[in-house]
Amino acid sequence: MSATGTGHTVIRPYGDTTGDGRVQLSFTLPLPSGTEEERALADGAAAQLARKMGLDPAMVVHTKAMGPDFTFFIVYGVVRHLVDLADVAVARREFPLMSAAEINRRIRSALGRELVVVGASVGTDAHTVGIDAILNVKGHAGEKGLESYAEIRVVNLGAQVAVGDLVARAVAEHADAVLVSQVVTQRDAHISAAQQIAEAFSEESGMTRRPLLVVGGPRFDPAMAGELGVDRVFGRGTTPGEVASYLVHALAPEPQGSAA
């Protein structure tokens, strides 16, 4: 049946016996269960859902009314499905996710100084929600923003920053990376803003090295980096930790010869 390590690549969930396929599941249905009759119907509905999800047999072990209109269920059952490890697709990020402590350590060991990030929303975009979610200590999605990293110095310019001002500030601050968030997408404003920034930095002669250019926003496609002329594009749902991990991957790679 199943066994990794003996050459087999097909597995099933494990309850208490190899291959038993037992799983648990909980969910809510918009059904009342106050009366005996209602509860019987609700239990039946839960069992039917579980069977359709592939649990067979399915056992409804807990039914609880939540107010007059909803019922919560816990179900145990056996799934017939097989997982073929040969077919498992793994999404690969080009960089590993690191903890805040690892990121700070890496910046110290690889750069030996603070990593400087300048961030803004440019042009007519008055939305700071994206850049603030990534930069503010408050952060986003349960992760603190880049300001909370001891080894990252953040200069957050806010919204409606002129591209020229952004470039000038990046030069003045010796920015390692420039983060730009664009939320407004009318007439592809976010695309043209990103391209303007890339051009402005490529024309800027006052810097010894161009900072890493990172753009993000809910309508960006991460595959567009090349087309936009920037180093990395982040889309919807990006967390501060992902951005910090990427910055370290790109700017503070592990020193050569360090033990793995």
Count of residues that bind another protein according to CB under 8 A: 32
Vertex 220 angle, CA 219 and 225, to 5°: 170
Q: How far is the CB of 119 from another protein (least distance, A)?
A: 12
Question: Which x/- pattern, by CB under 8 A, does the window 33-72 give for another protein?
Answer: xx----x-----------------------xxxxxx-xxx
Residue 26 within binding range of another protein, rule CB under 8 A: yes
Q: How far is the CB of 141 from another protein (least distance, A)?
A: 8
* Gap between the Cα atoms of 228 and 32, Å rounded: 53
Q: How far is the CB of 133 from another protein (least distance, A)?
A: 6
Closest to another protein by CB, 158 vs 164, is: 158
Cis peptide before 57 (omega within 30 of 0): yes
Q: Which residues contact 116 (CB under 8 A, 6 or more apart)?
A: 152, 153, 155, 173, 174, 175, 176, 177
Q: Which residues contact 17 (CB under 8 A, 6 or more apart)?
A: none
Q: How far is the CB of 1 from another protein (least distance, A)?
A: 28
- Whether 138 is catalytic is yes
Q: Pick left, alpha or beta for residue 174 (phi over 0 → left; psi -120 to 50 → alpha; otherwise beta).
A: left
Question: Which x/- pattern, by CB under 8 A, does the window 153-182 give for another protein?
Answer: ---x-x------------------------
Q: Per-residue b/e over 70-86, b at no fewer than 16 CB within 10 Å?
A: ebbbebbbbbeeeeeee
**What is the footprint of another protein within residues 127-146 (CB under 8 A)?**
127-129, 132-133, 136-138, 140-142, 144
Catalogue the E-assigned strands of 101-175.
115-120, 152-156
Closest to another protein by CB, 142 vs 206, is: 142
From 144, 149, 153, 146, select the one nearest 115 (Cα to Cα).
153
Residues that bind another protein (CB under 8 A): 26-28, 33-34, 39, 63-68, 70-72, 127-129, 132-133, 136-138, 140-142, 144, 147-148, 150, 156, 158
- Which of the residues are catalytic? 138
